[in-house]
């Protein structure tokens, strides 16, 4: 079915509309089975109830039921490719026919829109935050990718970077109601309360890291602090349980003083019922791990090392979801404001992402996954040809010692075009 549709509602025509737009009208009750859709093949208006192609739009169970997922992508530190991976997962899922909305929830440093080739978003979270736009649906942006839309963050907006707990919970609730099969939230890097609270509120929790020792340590600390926050929130009104677990206070994210298994033994000595409740919290916490920018075969084992450490020290079932090879095209794609996965859909890195999506996120069997991966790459190859490339233009300003910023600039290259002036469209 066409992605841009003309519809007739009570003798009035609307359009062209995308399928997500039409789904929104269905959810609001403004488009019903008694209304009409223009079909080019038949050159006539066809009643919605007679079109099997749009039955899915009226299937509320599919839109808001168990098949719908809210996915959070987080990392313990910056520079591990979290945002690029978020965009790639979104494009991959959209290529499989799922309606996807990418959400940039890095309120202090939003940049997901640039990864998607959108230099100046028409709307951002700031419009929603200031009530310039009433609902989240009002700030959803189209993307050049079929089935994929996005909500842009408001980079550097003071006040948005630290929402209160109830505001975060309300935002997650509203995100769940958006018209999509998958909502992918790109969180800010680090271990702040805001990042962790969003991370704990979703269906699929994914931590991204690289094989470097510092990144691995930060990833493990993020998982540990997320578990601590979950326990704190669960037992916030029961200080005796927090005391058994040697967790001091609720306002600060302290580290665990000993392996969780040892604390569970102490809890059982105090009360079997309390120990069982704690074990329920632990069993409910099943984050995923993706190892990014893998350069050597031996580095793949680092994912299993974190999984083992999480089991032994935290009693957490960390799911090692897969790894993505290092790809030189990543830097090129960022410079061209083009999604990395479209740079070369048949690269080893793109194939790794396809494997993660089909086998892990969508739980396809191997035979079915093979076909789906082929279908995904074929779709992305087709979209890559039509995706406009916003290559950064070479600056007309020539680098010189006469420049006001010469002494403080790390990009000194006298006599050549300025390496940073071409970024002015982003910063204006």
Alpha-carbon distance 423 to 428, whole Å? 9
Alpha-carbon distance 212 to 295, whole Å? 11
Q: pLDDT class for 217, splitting at 50, 70, 90?
A: very high
Burial class (CB in 10 A: 0-12, 13-18, 19+), 152: buried
10 pLDDT more than 50: yes
More confident residue, 265 or 154: 265
Dump strand ranges (E) for 133-203: 141-142, 148-151, 182-187
- What's the whole-number mean pLDDT along residues 227-232? 90
Q: Which tens digit of pLDDT belongs to each residue from 104-134?
A: 988 767 788 888 878 788 898 888 888 888 8
Q: Which tens digit of pLDDT belongs to each residue from 193-213?
A: 889 999 999 999 999 999 999
Q: Which tens digit of pLDDT belongs to each residue from 413-422?
A: 777 777 655 4
288 pLDDT more than 70: yes
Least confidently predicted of 5-19, 211-225, 237-251, 392-406: 392-406
- What's the whole-number mean pLDDT along residues 82-87? 92
DSSP string, 266-303: HHHHH-HHHHHHHHHHHHH---EEEEEEE-SGGGGHHH
């Amino acid at each position: 079915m066409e992605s841009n549709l003309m519809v007739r509602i009570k003798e009035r025509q609307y359009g062209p509309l995308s399928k997500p737009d039409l789904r929104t009208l269905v959810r609001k009750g403004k488009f019903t089975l008694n209304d009409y859709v223009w079909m080019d093949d038949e050159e006539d208006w066809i009643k919605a109830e007679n079109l099997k192609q749009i039955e899915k739009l009226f299937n509320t169970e599919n839109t808001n039921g168990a098949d719908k997922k809210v996915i959070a992508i987080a990392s313990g530190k910056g520079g591990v490719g979290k945002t690029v991976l978020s965009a790639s997962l979104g494009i991959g899922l959209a290529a499989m026919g799922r309606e996807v909305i990418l959400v940039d929830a890095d309120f202090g440093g939003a940049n997901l829109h640039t990864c998607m080739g959108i230099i100046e978003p028409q709307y951002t979270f700031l419009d929603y935050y200031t009530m310039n736009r009433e609902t989240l649906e009002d700030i959803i942006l189209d993307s050049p990718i079929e089935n994929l839309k996005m909500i842009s963050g408001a980079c550097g907006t003071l006040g948005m970077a630290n929402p209160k707990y109830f505001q975060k919970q309300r935002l997650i609730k509203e995100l769940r109601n958006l018209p999509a099969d998958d909502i992918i939230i790109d969180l800010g890097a680090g271990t702040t309360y805001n990042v962790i609270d969003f991370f704990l509120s979703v269906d699929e929790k994914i931590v991204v890291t690289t094989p470097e020792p510092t990144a691995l340590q930060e990833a493990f600390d993020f998982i540990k602090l997320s578990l601590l926050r979950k326990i704190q929130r669960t037992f916030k009104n029961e200080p005796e349980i927090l005391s058994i677990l040697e967790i001091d206070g609720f306002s600060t994210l302290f580290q665990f003083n000993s392996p969780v298994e040892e604390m569970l033994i102490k809890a059982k000595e105090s009360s079997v019922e309390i120990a069982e409740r704690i074990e329920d919290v632990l069993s409910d916490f099943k984050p995923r791990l993706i190892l990014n920018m893998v350069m050597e075969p031996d580095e793949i084992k680092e994912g299993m090392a974190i999984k083992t450490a999480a089991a032994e020290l935290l009693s957490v079932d960390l799911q090692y979801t897969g790894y993505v090879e290092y790809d030189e095209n990543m830097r090129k794609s960022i410079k061209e404001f083009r999604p990395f996965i479209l740079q070369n859909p048949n690269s080893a890195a793109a194939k790794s992402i396809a494997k993660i999506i089909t086998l892990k996120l969508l739980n396809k069997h191997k035979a079915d996954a093979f076909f789906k991966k082929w279908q995904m790459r074929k779709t992305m190859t087709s979209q890559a040809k039509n995706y406009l490339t916003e290559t950064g233009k070479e600056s007309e300003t020539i680098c010189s010692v006469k420049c006001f910023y010469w002494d403080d600039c790390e990009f000194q290259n006298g006599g050549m075009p300025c390496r940073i002036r071409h970024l002015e469209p982003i910063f204006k």
